[in-house]
Structure 1
């Protein structure tokens, strides 16, 4: 599952791989810097229940994605991007995109039909990232929204993004 790619625009070496036990403190540090309140609590608490992917840039940890698979009525097996965090100094460099694309590859290997994520309505950067990768956006008023909220451990005021794999 390891991916190594050179970004020609900035000559950054980006490597995405599953986290190891030795990565735990660095992963927790990124999650603490990126989230507050209950989001921080659940991101750190559920690390042992998810597959944690890390992105390294030139050998330094730059971002983290927590992912898992679940079943959803009407959707079958769904891959969930549970938490996605990129250190501030690496934002806007395509690190989040690389993490999501690697998560999608994992979901395909796991025979998921869809990939899904949720975020707060105000997080336009996250919504823009997922939209640019072909995800459809659903809000509370959309019927399909409620089918996915529980499976994604989302909050009632989150937006849900889904992509057919």
Structure 2
């Protein structure tokens, strides 16, 4: 994760201002890591600090990591000055969930709801149809919210996670 520092307008020296900017950004960064369930080896590149100044960020990082239920470990500073940490992988990350068949199926339903109000049929690739059939409540909720039903149909000519809305106009 590459952190960027804003221009210094505080009247402090450049190093002091960049240290403060990095220190102040770390709580939000670590919160986002937790929200997105990022796991495994994580490297953080603080903005514009000499390697020896980066050492001073270790204690605040270690303190902030204590609030994380997965108890990540801060391993120190690498030779290149990167803060190295490891966070246990228990669940898939947000990008993995969104790109998995179920995530793609839910995205299709959101798009049908928002952009295809007259669709009467949703032609689906095999994996997408399987994901939709595995979550009948999501399909029922989509139909209820749009105020009219639609049918799901397997289209073997489509890629696994593709879909096409159709209207019988």
Same fold (TM over 0.5): no
**Structure 1 or 2: larger helix share?**
2
**Structure 1 or 2: larger strand share?**
1
TM-score normalised to structure 1 length: 0.31
